[in-house]
Each structure stands twice: as structure tokens, then as C-alpha cells.
Structure 1
């Protein structure tokens, strides 16, 4: 188990450079503040981050986060990180859910976020989503809000709008 975790941390560290170049800013981040607090993700747990559904979810950094999880686990290409929850994302989500012993409904809700959150671990000064193929770097700011690496710097991930360079 220690060897596997060590390999995962090494993958996460190496993926920081790749992420900045290829997936510019798609990261993992747990939880969403109650409405009215700037739509930022905080470190209280992904299970309250909100549901993602085709036709029911506006484009946002939160969608980009989920698409990045799919990429990190090998279910999607870097080009699929668009911050829009479309049918292709839902199809990849169904496969991911099935492979993680969840109901494959294509809806990213509390159970799906919860399974993904189990893969967030410390990685040096940062945190990382330890994907099956890549790691996604994260950082907590002083307020306990998760930040993602985007365009050469860290910034807060938004649940209500698209700010990620890769998606604009």
C-alpha cells in the first residue's frame, strides 16, 4: 500500500507540469459554499458541490473539475475539458460510475463526488486528486478555499461561472 501511494504521489507531482501545459487549470476541489458566497469551492467536502446533469448544468469551473477527474482517471482526453456538461461527458461519467460501483446514471451528485473525494491526498505543499493515470494539483488558500493551477498561477475554482483559461 505504501509503495502504491508513493507511486501515486510521484505521478501527482509529475502531472503538475503536464497539467499546466495541457489541461491548464482543470483541478479537483472539494465542496461549494452556500449560495451567495461567490460560488467558490471550499474544503468541506465534494459531496455538496452540486449535481451536474446534461441540459441542467450551466458551464462552470466545477464542470471543468469533473471533466479533469475523468481525464486524470483515463476516461477522457484533455480536449474534453470544456467546462460544459454535455452528452459526451455524461457518457464518460456513466462508465466511470460503473467502474467505481455506482449507479451509472451520468449524473454527478453526492455519491459520485464522494468517491472522487476519497482520492484527494496531500502531495507536498499541495493536495492532489490521485487519478488512475494523472494527478491534479490543488492548493488550500488561507480561507480554506481550494485553488487550482491555471495559466501559470493558482486561483479559486468557481461553481457559477467559467474562469479557467482552458475553457475560455
Structure 2
């Protein structure tokens, strides 16, 4: 039980990192606060190797890869690098998506389909681990990080795991 709780906490941290890893969205879809609406995860922005700045959003994506067993926890860096792109291609291929290594609306949407309400939380139901998330009072995504829920950022790295 203790290991599963630690794994969930780590996934939350990763998930937060992935969403905030510098992803950008079109101006009409981007939240001015640099945050992501949980109900709008598919519009979290494009993540692409060599083009995406470090952010919590990238950490979130890497946490999703970890939850599904594609990435080791120690690889979560909030940086969308070459190894993350290679791992993303494998994930996309196994989920019947175009394996281009770019996390866009189709990839985010496939991941979002695995979100499930669990009490006051929303959980990404990974193939190996669950990743706990939460919607704040305004509907923005929060990730469990170092024992507390923190807002997921698209414009900076705030996750403890990535600092």
C-alpha cells in the first residue's frame, strides 16, 4: 500500500511537470494564467523535441508515460528531449495514433480518455500506476507534488521533481 501511495504521488508530480513544460497553445485557447483547464487537457499545447520549453506540462506528459510503464520515474525532467520523443512514439503506436513523437490534441485526447473521477480527485488510470490529479475551484488542473496539490503550469517549472 505504501509503495502504491508513493507511486501515485510521483505520478502526480510527473503529470504536473508534463503539462507545464513549456507547451504553448493558440492564443484563443491559452489561459492567461499559464494554467490548464482539466476539461481542456486536449488543448494543453504541442510538445515537440527541440521546440518545447521546460514546463510542468512536459512533466505531466512524462508522468503519464511513467504511469503507463514507458518511462522510469528518474527520467521525469520536465524537458521534452529526444528520449521522451522516442518513448512518446512507442506510446502513440501502442495506442493506435500516428507515431510522430509530437504530443498534440489527438495524443492528449487519448490520454484524457483515461481520466476517471475518484472522490474529490481525478485519476489518470495508467497501465501500471494511477496518477492523482485534481480540479481547483476554477476548474484548473492541479497535480499532487511533494505531499500537496499544486497548480499545473504551462509557462514554468514548479514541480519539486524537476527543480
Q: Please indicate the TM-score interval, normalised by the length of the shorter structure.
A: 0.7 to 0.9
- Specify which of 57, 61, 64 is matched with residue 69 of structure 1: 64
- Work out whether residues 12 and 133 of structure 2, in 8 Å CA contact, stay in contact via their aligned partners in 1: no
- Specify which of 6, 13, 17 is matched with residue 25 of structure 1: 13
Partner of 2:93: 98
Please give the alpha-carbon distance, in whole angstroms, between the structure 2 residues aligned to 1:100 and 1:35.
27
CA RMSD of aligned residues (A): 2.2
Partner of 2:22: none
Give the structure with higher Rg (CA): 1
- Specify which of 40, 44, 51 is matched with residue 35 of structure 2: 40
Normalising by the residue count of structure 1, what TM-score does the alignment of the two structures yield? Answer: 0.84
Aligned residues: 154
Partner of 2:131: 136
- How far off is 1:152 after superposition? 1.3
- Specify which of 142, 145, 148 is matched with residue 143 of structure 2: 148
- How far off is 1:15 after superposition? 3.9
Aligned positions of 1:74-89 closer than 5 A: 74-89=69-84
- How far off is 1:16 after superposition? 3.9
- Work out whether residues 42 and 108 of structure 2, in 8 Å CA contact, stay in contact via their aligned partners in 1: yes
Please give the alpha-carbon distance, in whole angstroms, between the structure 2 residues aligned to 1:23 and 1:43.
16
Please give the alpha-carbon distance, in whole angstroms, between the structure 2 residues aligned to 1:131 and 1:24.
12
Task: Give unpaired runs (5+ residues) of structure 1.
Answer: 1-10
- Work out whether residues 23 and 166 of structure 1, in 8 Å CA contact, stay in contact via their aligned partners in 2: no
- Work out whether residues 43 and 105 of structure 2, in 8 Å CA contact, stay in contact via their aligned partners in 1: yes
Partner of 1:119: 114
Please give the alpha-carbon distance, in whole angstroms, between the structure 1 residues aligned to 2:15 and 2:101.
20
Question: 1:24 and 1:73, CA in 2 relative to 1: closer, same or farther beyond 3 A?
Answer: closer
- Work out whether residues 15 and 136 of structure 1, in 8 Å CA contact, stay in contact via their aligned partners in 2: no
Runs of 4+ in structure 1 deviating by more than 2 angstroms, as ranges, are: 14-20, 32-36
Normalising by the residue count of structure 2, what TM-score does the alignment of the two structures yield? Answer: 0.86
